[in-house]
Amino acid sequence: MGYPKSSLLPEPQETTAEVERLREINERLVMLTAHELRTPLTHILAYLRLRQESAPMSERCELDVVVEQALALKERLDQVLLLDQLEAGLYELHCAPLSIQETIGRAIETQRCHIEEKKLTLDMQVECSAIVWGDRELLTRALDHLIANACKFSLPRGIVEVRVDCAETLCCVRVSDHGIGIATEKQSQIFEPFFQVEMTRSRRYNGLGIGLHLVRAIAEKHGGSIQVQSKVGYGSTFTMMIPLP
């Protein structure tokens, strides 16, 4: 015997629309919060740097830690604001011929402290000296995030691999780690904004969950794309593809 469908239950289309509406509200709230926090944080950093210059040695270490944390927060806010500009079509690309090897080198240098702190081995192999037409700041930021991600999810004394090769029309940059890996069912979600691989309250890895979404936005802004291959317990490989001029 069948039962009549309850009129109190929402239609699937209504549920999907409501989830999408709440997601958009959440994204907008984060963007607005980032805008409001950036200016006072800039003033706080300026004050802390002045204190660093005049503080006695006994206070320097503590101030260094505070400045480091403030800079990390500023970087996250900058990511949010840049993403907002890209998605609103307000970011103006400043493209020029770029050596992909030099761009990767700049990204690696920004992660040098993390590489040394975890005693990681960086294995870089460049099979082609590609010149791409791109925005130096954006591409450096995208590669910086991929390398930072690989460092973050690598075990101490692990290996981070960077590979560059060229097809007929594409320059492919592959960044691999041998860390925790990503479950198959989550791989289609990791490029979505604010998605975290580890969603528990006690999650071990910090971040807003927008880094990979930002990398995808940057790749697409250059007419490219990004893909992931991963297996739990074996690590992940992210491949960013940028068209050759």
Q: What is the pLDDT of residues 63-120, one digit of tens each?
A: 888 888 888 888 888 888 888 888 888 899 999 999 999 999 999 999 998 899 999 9
CA distance 75 to 139: 16
- The pLDDT-based confidence of 41 (bands split at 50, 70, 90) is confident
CA distance 70 to 72: 5
With beta carbons less than 8 A apart as the criterion, state whether 135 and 166 touch.
no
Topology match between the domains 12-88 and 95-243: no
Predicted pLDDT at 13: 60
Q: In terms of Cα–Cα distance, which of 217, 135, 115, 126 is closest to 174? A: 126
Residue 19 above 90 pLDDT? no
If you average pLDDT over residues 168-189, what whole number do you get?
Answer: 93
Work out the burial of residue 2: count CB atoms within 10 Å of its CB; fewer than 13 is exposed, 13-18 middle, 19 or more buried. exposed
CA distance 105 to 99: 10
Among the four given CATH numbers 3.40.605.10, 1.10.287.130, 1.10.3720.10, 3.40.50.2000, the one describing domain 12-88? 1.10.287.130
CA distance 210 to 216: 10
- The pLDDT-based confidence of 157 (bands split at 50, 70, 90) is very high
DSSP H helices, 111-232, are 112-117, 136-153, 211-221
> Averaging pLDDT over each range in 6-15, 128-137, 154-163, which range is the top one?
154-163
Residue the block writes with tokens 């082609």? 128
195 vs 48, higher pLDDT: 48
CA distance 240 to 226: 4
Query: Where along the chain do its domains lie?
Result: 12-88, 95-243
Predicted pLDDT at 32: 74
Q: Is the dihedral of CA 180, 184, 186, 188 positive or negative?
A: positive
If you average pLDDT over residues 122-131, what whole number do you get?
Answer: 90
Given CATH 3.90.1330.10, say whether it is the number of domain 95-243.
Answer: no
